[in-house]
Amino acid sequence: MTQTQNDSQQNPAKAGVRTYTGGCHCGAVRYEATVNLADVSRCNCTFCTKYGDGGSTSMKPEAFRLLKGQEDVTQYARKGSPNSRSFCKHCGVMCFGAGDVPELGGAFRSIHIGTLDDVDPSLLTYQYWDGRHDNWMAGSRSSPWPFQATVS
Ligand SMILES: [Zn+2]
């Protein structure tokens, strides 16, 4: 085996687009998502800050499939927001979210990196979004954004 093959097997950031499975802690909720883990991010929004954002990645809705647990999830969304997060009713783990941010291409699903099977989150490189200020047009960057707005 060459070093390159070994890297892509060991390092999910180098594996390209792949279909992964994941789920909550107790096993009630299971999903499948086709994503590229070279593209993972964290966010400074008020929700992500309180939850302790371990990183996420987004995909078009059709690249996500709930395998199990439709009845076992409960959703949370800030009043008036089109973006929601889904939690297992039993163990409380947030596995995925859904939303619609026109600046980012419209409807999407997202998954919480820590809920993926057999993926070591420490091997990934995170980009940071300024979600706290809905500053999506600024794009993501390699260091966290401050709580104080950097745009007027
Ligand atoms: Zn659970």
Structure confidence by residue, pLDDT tens digits, 91-110: 999 999 999 988 778 999 99
Q: 4 in a domain, yes or no?
A: no
The whole-angstrom separation of Cα 140 and Cα 135 is 9
What pLDDT, on a 0 to 100 scale, did the predictor assign at position 8? 53
- 83 pLDDT exceeds 80? yes
Q: 131 in a domain, yes or no?
A: yes
What is the Å distance from ligand 1's center to 112 Cα? Answer: 14
Nearest in space to 19 (alpha carbons), one of 117, 134, 130: 117
Domain containing residue 35: 17-137
What is the Å distance from ligand 1's center to 15 Cα? Answer: 28
Q: What percent of the chain lies above the pLDDT cut of 90?
A: 57
Mean pLDDT of 108-132: 92
Q: 118 in a domain, yes or no?
A: yes
Q: What is the CATH number of the domain that holds 73?
A: 2.170.150.70
- 15 pLDDT exceeds 60? yes
Q: 1 in a domain, yes or no?
A: no
SS (H, E, C) the chain: CCHHHHHHHHCHHHCCEEEEEEECCCCCCEEEEEEECCCEEEECCHHHHHHCCCCEEEECHHHEEEEECHHHEEEECCCCCCCEEEEECCCCCEEEEEEEEHHHCEEEEEEEHHHECCCCHHHCCEEEECHHHCCHHHCCECCCCCCCCCCC
Q: Report the domain count for the chain.
A: 1
As residues whose CB is below 5 A from the ion ligand 1, the structure lists: 24, 26, 28, 88, 90-91
Q: Residues 38, 63, 23, 54: what is their CA dihedral angle, to the nearest 10 degrees?
A: 30
What is the Å distance from ligand 1's center to 67 Cα? Answer: 13
What is the Å distance from ligand 1's center to 20 Cα? Answer: 18
pLDDT digits (tens, 9 = 90+) for 36-52: 999 899 988 888 888 88
pTM for the predicted model, two decimal places: 0.84
